[in-house]
Amino acid sequence: MDGIARPEDPLLTEAQFLKGVGPKLAMLLRKLGIVTVRDVLEHYPRRYEDRTQLPPLMTVRPGQACSVRGRLKKLDTRSTRGGKVIIKAVLADDTGEIDLIWFNQPWVARELKKVEGDVVAFGMVKEGEGWRLQMTAPEWEALDEDDDAGDFARVTPVYALTDGVGQWVIRRAAAAAVDYFSGQARDPFPEEFRRQHRLQRLGWCYRHMHQPENLATQATARRRLAFEEFLYLQLGLQMRRAEVQQELGISFPISQIQGDTGLGGTLFGAEVGAAEGGLWDQVHRMLPFDLTGAQRRVIGEIWRDMERPYPMNRLVQGDVGSGKTAVAACAMLAAVRCGYQAALMAPTEILAEQHALNLKRLFAPLGIEVALMVGKLGAKAKRRALEQAASGEAPICVGTHALISEGVTFHKLGFAVIDEQHRFGVVQRLALRQKGMNPDVLVMTATPIPRTLTMSLYGDLDLSVIDELPPGRKPIKTHWRKPDQRNKVYQVVRDLVKEGRQAYFVCPMITESDKMQTQAAEDLHYRLSTHEYPDLRVGLLHGQMKGPEKEEVMTKFRAHELDILVSTVVIEVGVDVPNATVMVIEDANRFGLAQLHQLRGRVGRGGHQSFCILVASATNPESEQRLRIMEETTDGFRIAEEDLKIRGPGDVAGTRQSGQLTFKLANLVDDGPLLEETRMAAMEILRADPQLSRPEHALLLERLREQRSQDALIVVS
């Protein structure tokens, strides 16, 4: 024992011990989160410059980034009147010349003077004085006589930097790490597995990320490392899912109370047309419309899941207006009829109130009480709601986060619906779970998520998709109008209101600040109610209003006591007023695609033709593209795909807070096939070794644990 705790893994050696690094540089590297040698190796280049080609100067053209090789013909240093130093060197080969220019770097001149042989310079070629080729502040290197363009003429990594850390610092650290340590990297993948999936050794990959022979070896290295990132995600999700299926949950005796399945056959082995008042019968009595085929299928999937003895964890995905509320109501009905309480949690008070209203209306004829629990209830109403939940007097409780706050107890909570889950974290889901006896959880989301993301974000959930809209819906017509056409837009709205319809005006999101948005909404409300529509009933809704005030406005709008509702984005999610058939979105270019789609989903909910008018001047090609896509399609999935392409996965709604999607290399947009491959690979691994307990998987398990503890941190913070 030498008294020093040596990490078992050589790659956990501190970066400061790398040749050429030392304590000072190590301090700087820490700013980039780099502490160990492994951190250095996994600080992958942001991009590469292919310097393997050394074109003859004659063939070099302005606008090209390249390496050139030649001899220095002339070196000229002069000072400007302003006291600046300009260095100009002329580099020549047998075919032509190029000027190399540096500003205010006198040491470059000193270095250049020492050069005897060839020089290689890398940079962007521009057109200089007298049509001469020119490079400004190129990276350069002098070659020895016998040097074959040396280090410089190859694929050179370019790293992400922080203040005070230059490219050369990271390059030096990376080179040392690769030279001394990459050979010692312990590979979490067994050899057989690597062979099967055509993956190179870990050490080889580190080397070829930092010092690729060419772009092809770099791509091979990247593929393996991205594969590994995806694999941890998939292993984590699949293991979590397996864990949940081990837990004991509630087995709702649905088939015993089940009547006509409505599916023209038997469900759960129950006799068709059994007991009067069977579940489907009650569903038909409860809903004022016939379910769509998709709704019926999804309800069947949920009920079947509820019968199983392990806790359900199911995601229902359906575009805005596809009728998720009815599906949730049917699921809750089943829970209640099996003798349990059901809770529905919504992201905002308005939504919770609206759900409570809808559900009360649906469940009243069946004699099922619905309690509402939101933060801003008066003391008395609150006490009453708490009692109803605790005694079981209210079989159904609807609320916001208030539902999972301390002090709320349930008599016998067996089923929980979480609406618009992207607003909730994993933590809240757990808290709700803990309120009951490991209740079944149904998560509903209208945020269309591209399939690749669904799989990676919610791989631990079962998925049901409502892929059909209720019949008779006319697709919303969307038009993009420039601000100077506003008067025409106002006229269109007036005409529709005259026909008896209602309208939303959504005002721009100027800042993140609630106050500013409120101000904008108040301004627009003032303008519309006094100048444009003094004869119409114009209401206002914004985030700074108190709960009861908001509810009052919404109630009035629902009851058609208002013609026009001016609002901030608070109506984004879930609000349902079928007679509202036109939405004007001001400064629509300030919204993202997903948000525009959500907003637009507030219209087109009844039998009348609906319109969405985007008022905006395109400020850049990207915003123009967004507006065009909105005009073109109402398909949420297509919009989600486009959104993903434009913005990348980091920003797509719901993914930001998940923390699971922070990859160093892997990319959900471009690596879809790889993601699928890793999903299969993870399944294979777990089929043979469900706990990863075999010795050959020890390192894999270790890395996976590291990853998952990081996930957890991100989710909680």
Stretch that binds ligand ADP, among 5-13, 284-292, 427-435, 662-670 (CB under 6 A): 284-292
Asked if 659 touches ligand ADP (CB under 6 A), the answer is no
- Output the smallest distance, CB 211 to Mg ion, in A: 53
Whether 122 and 116 have beta carbons less than 8 Å apart is answered as: no
Q: 182 or 421, CB closer to ligand ADP? A: 421
Task: Report the candidate in 542, 610, 612 with the shortest Cα–Cα distance to residue 584.
Answer: 612
For the chain, the residue count is 717
Asked if 323 touches Mg ion (CB under 5 A), the answer is no
Per-residue three-class SS string for 478-547: EEEECHHHHHHHHHHHHHHHHCCCEEEEECCCCCCCHHHHHHHHHHHHHHHHHHHCCCCCEEEECCCCCH
- Other Cβ atoms less than 10 A from the Cβ of 564: the count is 26
Binding partner selected for residue 326 from Mg ion, ligand ADP, none, CB under the kind-specific 5 to 8 Å limit: ligand ADP
What is the identity of the amino acid at 472? G
- The answer for 321, left when phi > 0, alpha when psi is -120 to 50, beta otherwise, is left
- x-marked contacts with Mg ion along 527-566 as a string, rule CB under 5 A: ----------------------------------------
Q: 212 or 601, CB closer to ligand ADP? A: 601
Asked if 321 touches ligand ADP (CB under 6 A), the answer is yes
Task: Report the candidate in 19, 13, 41, 9 with the shortest Cα–Cα distance to residue 182.
Answer: 41
Whether 202 and 187 have beta carbons less than 8 Å apart is answered as: yes
Q: At what angle do helices 215-246 and 698-716 cross, to 10 degrees?
A: 80
- Output the smallest distance, CB 582 to ligand ADP, in A: 17
Task: Report the candidate in 315, 567, 653 with the shortest Cα–Cα distance to residue 455.
Answer: 315
CA-CA distance, 195 to 83, in Å (whole number)? Answer: 63
Q: 532 or 572, CB closer to ligand ADP? A: 572
Stretch that binds Mg ion, among 115-123, 276-284, 571-579, 676-684 (CB under 5 A): 571-579
Tell me how far the alpha carbon of residue 464 is from its chain's centroid: 20
Question: Which listed residue (576, 641, 642, 671) binds ligand ADP by CB under 6 A?
Answer: 576
Tell me how far the alpha carbon of residue 206 is from its chain's centroid: 28
Helices vs strands, H then E, count in the chain: 23, 21
Going through 334-459 in order, the beta strands assigned E by DSSP cover 341-345, 370-373, 396-399, 413-419, 440-445
Interaction residues for ligand ADP, span 595-614 (CB under 6 A): 605
CA-CA distance, 257 to 86, in Å (whole number)? Answer: 89
Asked if 324 touches ligand ADP (CB under 6 A), the answer is yes
Binding partner selected for residue 323 from ligand ADP, Mg ion, none, CB under the kind-specific 5 to 8 Å limit: ligand ADP
Q: 212 or 574, CB closer to Mg ion? A: 574
- Output the smallest distance, CB 446 to Mg ion, in A: 6
Binding partner selected for residue 450 from Mg ion, ligand ADP, none, CB under the kind-specific 5 to 8 Å limit: none
Q: 254 or 444, CB closer to ligand ADP? A: 444
Q: Which whole-number Å values give the CA distances from 183 to 18, 176, 187, 201, 202, in the listed order?
A: 15, 12, 10, 10, 9
Q: 298 or 652, CB closer to ligand ADP? A: 298
Strand 413-419's sheet: what is its strand order?
Answer: 370-373, 396-399, 341-345, 413-419, 440-445, 313-318, 462-466
Binding partner selected for residue 218 from ligand ADP, Mg ion, none, CB under the kind-specific 5 to 8 Å limit: none
Stretch that binds Mg ion, among 108-116, 462-470, 569-577, 705-713 (CB under 5 A): 569-577
- x-marked contacts with ligand ADP along 464-503 as a string, rule CB under 6 A: ------x---------------------------------
Q: 208 or 355, CB closer to ligand ADP? A: 355
- x-marked contacts with ligand ADP along 293-312 as a string, rule CB under 6 A: --x-----------------
Question: Which listed residue (18, 29, 68, 326) binds ligand ADP by CB under 6 A?
Answer: 326
Asked if 134 touches ligand ADP (CB under 6 A), the answer is no
Q: 296 or 337, CB closer to ligand ADP? A: 296
Q: 155 or 346, CB closer to ligand ADP? A: 346
Whether 34 and 43 have beta carbons less than 8 Å apart is answered as: yes
Query: 3-state DSSP call for residue 466?
Result: strand
Stretch that binds ligand ADP, among 106-114, 256-264, 283-291, 402-410 (CB under 6 A): 283-291
Tokens 């005796």: give the residue.
253
Query: 3-state DSSP call for residue 231?
Result: helix
- Output the smallest distance, CB 381 to Mg ion, in A: 24
CA-CA distance, 695 to 248, in Å (whole number)? Answer: 30
Question: Which listed residue (574, 601, 604, 606) binds Mg ion by CB under 5 A?
Answer: 574
Q: 368 or 446, CB closer to ligand ADP? A: 446
CA-CA distance, 194 to 188, in Å (whole number)? Answer: 10
Question: Which listed residue (185, 299, 446, 630) binds ligand ADP by CB under 6 A?
Answer: 446
Q: 222 or 602, CB closer to ligand ADP? A: 602
Which residues of the shown chain bind ligand ADP in the complex (CB under 6 A)? 289-292, 295, 318, 320-326, 446, 470, 574, 576, 578, 605
Which residues of the shown chain bind Mg ion in the complex (CB under 5 A)? 324, 574
